[in-house]
A = this chain, B = another copy of it.
């Protein structure tokens, strides 16, 4: 009668429980030290439920990353909705939304930032950020002698730098403050 697993509440809830459990465990130890048994215990879910959806714990982590990246994309694109005029300014407006996104997933970002084993995920985030910025930049007319792809990459990694520092300081600043910092920095290094 209903064969669409992803919209089944039970599936959704089980997966969320497993992901929350993994996040929580990753705050204490690294992935190899974590067992499937520990995950299902923390998630309060039967072992069989885990193996119904995933083969290894790595697969769970991967889906977790996918989720966050999808939310990153959502957060970034949200201010660009409804065919508004796209410009370099939009690029900055969107960048600001990213701080909200990072704060929302603070636990996740802290884990991947502070883990040596998970550096691969950092670069994946960076690449995604760059891609998003390039997307905006493609729809913009040239500005005096700047290679826009370079600009996109430049700014993506710059923002990642802000985020890294934010994380390393244990989120002691608010997302709004971080946005203001970005705007202030942009004001100094103006390219228009």
Contacts and interface: CB of A to CB of B under 8 A. Distances in A.
B13 A46 contact: no
Interface string A3-42: 0000001000100000000000000000000000000000
- Chain A interface helix/strand/loop/mixed: loop
- Identical copies of this chain, number: 2
Interface size class of A (residues with CB under 8 A): under 10
A127 to B, nearest CB: 34
A3 to B, nearest CB: 17
Contacts of A44: 9, 13
A113 interface: no
A44 B17 CA distance: 14
A182 interface: no
Interface of A: 9, 13, 44-46
5 contacts: A9-B44, A9-B45, A9-B46, A13-B13, A13-B44
